[in-house]
Structure 1
Amino acid sequence: MVEAGGGEQRCRSSLCLFFILALTTRLVVAQDGGGAVGGPHAAPGAPSAVALSDSDPGLLRALRFAEGQYNVGSGGVYLRRVTRVISASRQLVKGMKYSIVAELGNTLCKKSTSADPTTCEFHAEAARLKAEVCAFEIWDIPWLSKSTLLKQKCQPTGSNRTDPGAPSPDAHEQESVDLLSAFKEFVTKYNRSYSGQEEADRRFRIFRKNAQTARTLQSLDQGSAEYGVTKFSDLTEEEFRSLYLNPLLSQRNLQRPMKAASPARAPAPPTWDWREHGAVGPVKDQGMCGSCWAFSVIGNIEGQWFLKKGSLLSLSEQELVDCDRLDQACGGGLPSNAYEAIEKLGGLETETDYRYTGHKQSCGFSSGKVVAYINSSVELSRDENEIAAWLAENGPVSVALNAFAMQFYRRGVSRPLKIFCNPWMIDHAVLLVGYGERNGIPFWAIKNSWGEDYGEQGYYYLYRGSRLCGINKMCSSAMVN
């Protein structure tokens, strides 16, 4: 085997800072048979993120090896090397397995020379640089001085990739003016109030970085989505994750086993939307609480109750936040646990009787106020065609997904690059209410719980058919007899 050489990875793109700040904690590649990055409580041997600020010698060795193997297998004229690392994780498996997402570009050195790639400069023109994003898996056994390339998957960054050169002073000045104007509009529209000028300045800096994030998402999206300013545009990724997402969803070892759902009796019709059939209530708002799991499950039960009993009720998410002892309220939860908790409690109260507050309180459940119940719950197939067929036949489905592209989503069908939206890094639970096509682009219609001022009147539309963002990984439903 070839031992990877040393060298220092360069970061030349103007988008490098964005990726390091905004994506390092999220973008870890795993195809459908892969693993997820473990958090602080990950099991021993689970993958863990590698901080890109560290000069990790193992990561550098894996990068050089991946570059070498790429160049051996490519048919290009020029040597290519990593322009920037987007994300990296490692896992202890009789050595070290590295999962790396990186951008590669052409250098000025031709393959016919014996040049050391680490000394070769990059092409200055984007057309000749020919940047592409690659996902690598490398198994490194340093004590045997050998490495193995387990996986390699690459795709171009897109023809509309911005030039990495710095903008002219005039362009930079105009951008600052436009951003300041946009920030003022944002503050007014979303009624923001900051503690002082220092905090306002800090939020503007975050807003500026997020504007770059949205532009990059826009340039890389393969669907019809529009990204830009949203009500989350003054939050860092860490703040957004802690306030609105659900880290427990990716912890598969915490999930309660569920019985399999019976397959649908007929194939999926071309389109379906339960909003048109009365089974979906108004969009709700979870607030700054990681209770998406409760909204996903309650939305499912509201649909099931309507289909079985003929009455669309608005049921209480707060009951689950307060009384579900299997989950962690605003700290996250799992639909499988929530179903079990509802069965043990004996049912659900209405939203009117048990109002949502967005924070955990003492349990105030009253069995005398129960208006709906469930008998059991089931887990659906992971085949998207079968999910569509089951949904059309049986009602809206509780699902979970990687919310990678959702913070700055405004409208359209979202289709982020699959290698960015890791299907195992699920961190948000939502309600699947239908599916269809827009201008030839197949989509899932997803009811979110971030209020009607999010996305398209509270809905997110995700590309359907490629198991994108793990949308097929955790599909379930309550059963009402």
Structure 2
Amino acid sequence: MAPWLPLLSLLGLLPGASSAPPGRAAGAQSWEAASSELLGPARFALEMYNRGRAAGARAALGAVRGRVRRTGRGSLYSLKATLEEPPCNDPMVCQLPVSKKTLLCTFEILDELGKHMLLRRDCGPVDTKITDDRNETFSSFLPLLNMDPLPKDLSMKMASIFKDFVTTYNRTYETKEEAQWRMSVFVNNMVRAQKIQALDRGTAQYGVTKFSDLTEEEFRTIYLNPLLKEEPRKKMRLAKSINDPAPPEWDWRDKGAVTKVKNQGMCGSCWAFSVTGNVEGQWFLKHGDLLSLSEQELVDCDKVDKACLGGLPSNAYSAIKTLGGLETEDDYSYHGHLQTCNFSAEKVKVYINDSVELSQNEQSHRQRLDHSISGPLVGEVWGSPRNPVLTPASGYGPGSAIPFWAIKNSWGTDWGEEGYYYLHRGSGACGVNIMASSAVVN
């Protein structure tokens, strides 16, 4: 047995320890699905497996079992399936030699609005380490992540760090195989974080976050906003320039203009949090009343954007005007998935008169920020499941040393620095200056 396997046993990561879905926190809503419900995702996984194969070399689906977890507008399926490959000796066509025809596969498929996406595929012959509890080690998964095997001392160190991660973020996994897969993903992310750290020219620290056991594809699919790249932005009126000199630093949190950090959960609704965060600040500046506003209203009632599948701030501002305003979080609470629109005009507490796009010049953002709450600053930091989608700027730091934006995110207070992210100011880092906008409240 590998030396770190007892750690998994002690942490409750081996079979029977929990009924939580693979790679998710305990207590999540997940259950064993009927075979009829699994058939569609399983057929899609089979289609992806057979893609590019000649007709006579395609595998056939055998037994399927799995679990389902509701997320956003759809479902996340974790499947185990046997595949039967036809006899074949041509290495140019077949992935496995003729003697290994029956495969055991683990698939993870996200189904949102009837659209399937394969997040994970891990297949091997049934007589290999995939089903051999005595010999399996997480190193056997590293080739799937394009990683070389780790030295024993480093492997033990990573196992210890992974143990701390599991404890800190209350992770449990359904099976030993899933625990080993998640550990290999974790190791891959730590290696990438180390490489990014070496390239960083500022003071940022890269390492473990609550997303560190997710692959980049999983993270992007579940948490990010694909509409930022997929759909053209609605043109917005350009904001008037402000020529007043800016103070050396400014922080609206110190002035009571920023609500607490929120958590969007497993839903790509960052666009809604960006816009409501901006409107909260604008309303405070005009009326002196800081209200926590409803993101769920936009997720449910903005019919142009796509709820947990993404949205654009320009569309969201228009939706607020069309609806007649925003309800508060108390009246229309957040659930992190699409529901029937339950908007009530009688409960509206905040309205907006217009929305504007800000200049791409970051100095103008700095000049504007001490007059109004600027944002949302919606950009993606590339290359790592630990990086954020940026939301309203709450302040900025002095021009000496390293100038920065203080940015409020929507992944909870257990991410970043109590939910905030500090980004270099003045270089257009991460596209922070590309899509800055603001509501107008008269």
TM-score band, normalised by the shorter chain? 0.5 to 0.7
Instruction: Report 1:89-128 matches (<5 A).
Output: none
Q: Given the alignment, which residue of 196, 202, 208 partners 2:175?
A: 196
Contact between 2:365 and 2:374, CA under 8 Å: does it hold in 1?
A: no
Aligned to 1:268: 246
Alignment match, 1:342: 320
Q: Paired residue for 1:403, among 381, 397, 401? A: 381
1:461 to 405, 422, 437: 422
How do residues 315-354 of structure 1 correspond to structure 2 at under 5 angstroms?
315-354=293-332
Map of 1:49 onto structure 2? none
CA deviation profile, 1:145-197 (whole Å, cap 9, x unmatched): xxxxxxxxxxxxxxxxxxxxx99x9x821111111011111111111111111
User: Does structure 1 residue 187 correspond to structure 2 residue 148?
Assistant: no
SS of the aligned residue for 1:456 comes to coil
Give the letter for the 1:185 counterpart: D
Q: How many residues align?
A: 297
Tell me the residue number matched to 1:309: 287
Aligned mate of 1:430, from 384, 391, 399: 391
Alpha-carbon distance in structure 1 between the residues aligned to 2:363 and 2:374:
15
Verify the 8 A CA contact 1:376 1:479 in the aligned structure 2: yes
Conservation of the 8 A alpha-carbon contact between 1:395 and 1:433: yes
Residues 1:448 and 2:409 are matched in the alignment: yes
| CA distance 1:233–1:451, change in 2 (3 Å) | same
Map 1:346-365; keep pairs closer than 5 Å.
Answer: 346-365=324-343
Select which of 172, 195, 209 maps to 2:188: 209
Counterpart-to-counterpart distance in 2, 1:174 and 1:245:
36
**Cα offset, 1:401, TM superposition:** 1.2
Structure 2 match to 1:225: 204
Q: 1:217 is matched by which residue type in structure 2?
A: I
Partner of 1:430: helix, strand, or coil?
coil
Alpha-carbon distance, 1:265 to partner: 3.9
Q: 1:473 aligns with which of 422, 434, 442?
A: 434
CA displacement at 1:267 relative to structure 2: 2.2
Deviation at 1:277, TM superposition (A): 1.1
- Secondary structure of the structure 1 residue equivalent to 2:157: helix
Partner of 1:250: 229
Deviation at 1:236, TM superposition (A): 0.1
Whole-angstrom distance in 1 between the partners of 2:287 and 2:414: 31
Match status 1:241 vs 2:220: yes
Give me the whole-angstrom Cα distance separating, in 2, the residues matched to 1:213 and 1:222.
16
Structure 2 residue 265 is the aligned partner of structure 1 residue 287? yes
Cα distance in 1 for residues equivalent to 2:210 and 2:383: 14
Q: In the aligned structure 2, how far is the partner of 1:406 from the partner of 1:237?
A: 6
Q: Distance in 1 between matches of 2:400 and 2:159?
A: 35
Question: Shift of the alpha carbon at 1:229?
Answer: 0.7
Q: Tell me if the contact between 1:293 and 1:429 (Cα under 8 Å) persists in the aligned partners.
A: no
Q: Deviations over 1:362-413 (max 9, x none)?
A: 100011110001010000111010111111112232111122267436xxxx
SS, match of residue 462 in structure 1: strand
Q: Is the 8 A contact 1:217 1:405 kept in 2?
A: no
Separation in structure 2 between the aligned mates of residue 172 and residue 439 of structure 1, nearest angstrom: 43
Q: Which residue of 2 aligns with 1:56?
A: none
Which segments of 5 or more consecutive residues in structure 1 lack a partner in the other structure?
1-165, 410-426
Preserved CA contact (<8 Å) 1:293 1:428: no
Using the TM superposition, give the Cα deviation of residue 290 of structure 1 relative to its aligned residue in structure 2, in angstroms: 0.4
Residues 348 and 372, structure 1, Cα contact 8 Å, conserved in 2: yes
Counterpart Cα distance in 1 of 2:212 and 2:287 = 42
Give 1:111-190 correspondences, 5 Å limit: 172-190=151-169
8 Å Cα contact 2:220/2:385 also seen in 1: no
Say yes or no: does 1:394 pair with 2:372: yes
> Any conservation in 1 of the 2:390–2:408 contact (CA below 8 Å)?
no
Q: Unaligned regions of 5+ residues in structure 2, if any?
A: 1-146
Q: 1:259 aligns with which of 225, 237, 247?
A: 237
- Alpha-carbon separation, structure 2, partners of 1:200 and 1:359: 27
Q: Report if aligned partners of 1:449, 1:458 keep a CA contact under 8 Å in 2.
A: yes
Shift of 1:437: 3.7
Is the 8 Å Cα contact of residues 374 and 436 (structure 2) preserved in structure 1? no
Pick aligned residue for 2:355 from 372, 377, 389:
377
Task: Supply the distance in 2 between the matched residues of 1:277 and 1:249 (Cα, whole angstroms).
Answer: 31
Q: CA deviation at 1:254?
A: 2.3
Cα distance in 2, alignment partners of residues 316 and 429 from structure 1: 19
Helix, strand or coil at the partner of 1:363: coil
Q: What whole-Å deviation, never above 9, does each CA across 1:272-325 have from its counterpart, x for those lacking one?
A: 111111110100000010000000000000000000010000000000000000
Question: Residue 226 of structure 1 aligns to a residue in which SS?
Answer: coil
Query: What TM-score, normalized to structure 1?
Result: 0.60
* Mapped partners of 1:479, 1:428: distance in 2: 23
Residues 325-377 of structure 1, C-alpha deviations (whole Å, 9 max, x = no match)? 01000000000000000000001111011110000001000111100010100
Contact 2:389 2:409 in 1 (8 A): no
TM superposition shift of 1:438:
8.5
Matched, 1:277 2:255: yes
On the 8 A contact 1:374/1:479 being kept in 2, the answer is: yes
